[in-house]
Amino acid sequence: MKAKFTLAALIGLLALGTSAGPAAAGADTFTLGLSAPTVVAGKSAVLRADGTIPVRDLFFSYWFSLSAIRPSVMSTCPEDHWEAVQIAQSTGGAVLVLSQREIANAETGAFSIPIGITATAPGKLLLCAYTDDGATQTLAATSMMLDIRPASRRAVARARARCMKLHSRAKRAACLKAVRRIGGTS
């Protein structure tokens, strides 16, 4: 009986030792960062969210969210992702990602999420990104001030020419208004 107990304890210790190895090699805290290329109004771009999940916690699901808030409304991001969602939606901002699962590398805990955007107007936006547990806890947060440049004169001229080809007066007016917005003249 004692030999069985000793063998079971030894197997348990070996299992703990092998599971602690990769955790020590990987991340031991939640991290989150944002990066963006040059963003031009009227053109599509891909932002990136990169982060880490502690390797010991990879068997749990974690969620990414990203909200865009006008800097005239807030100069810093709220602490909680649901606060950011509510503020963005109610003040003319946008929720770019509501709840996307973070799928991390099993050895390092690292993850990367591409986020597609098409800016409709030049200016600045406060981007607020969060990792949460899907319930009540925000585990990592970061922010970035995104500077959206106006479209080039050539792009605005081409877009304006396309608008002028529209037969409906209402559609032409709406199109020209959108062109002025991406060119930064409205």
Q: What are 146-178's pLDDT values in tens digits?
A: 999 998 888 888 888 999 998 899 998 998 888
Residue 40's closest CA among 154, 120, 125? 120
Angle 136-67-88 from CA coordinates, rounded to 5°:
95
pLDDT band at 27 (very low <50, low <70, confident <90, very high): low
CATH superfamily name and code, 26-149: Immunoglobulins (2.60.40.10)
- Tokens for 39? 């963003």
Q: Is the separation of the CB atoms in 122 and 150 below 8 Å?
A: yes
**Cα radius of gyration (the chain):** 24
Which of 11-15, 63-67, 87-91, 175-179 has the weakest average pLDDT?
A: 11-15
pLDDT band at 5 (very low <50, low <70, confident <90, very high): very low
Q: Can you tell me the distance from the alpha carbon of 85 to that of 67, in angstroms, rounded to the nearest whole number?
A: 6
Sign of CA dihedral 15, 17, 22, 23: positive
Query: What is this structure's pTM?
Result: 0.77
Sorted by sequence, the CB contacts under 8 Å of residue 178 that are 6+ apart come out as 120, 159
- For 145, counting Cβ atoms within 10 Å of its Cβ (0-12 exposed, 13-18 middle, 19+ buried), the class is exposed
Q: Can you tell me the distance from the alpha carbon of 169 to that of 84, in angstroms, rounded to the nearest whole number?
A: 39
DSSP 8-state class, residue 130: E
Give mean pLDDT, residues 70-95.
96
Parse the chain into domains and list their residue ranges.
26-149, 151-186
Q: Cα dist. 30→58, 94, 152, 158 in Å?
A: 11, 25, 40, 46
Count of CB atoms within 10 A of residue 9's CB?
10
Asked if residue 12 has pLDDT above 70, the reply is no
DSSP 8-state class, residue 150: P
Which of 63-67, 71-75, 119-123 has the weakest average pLDDT?
A: 119-123
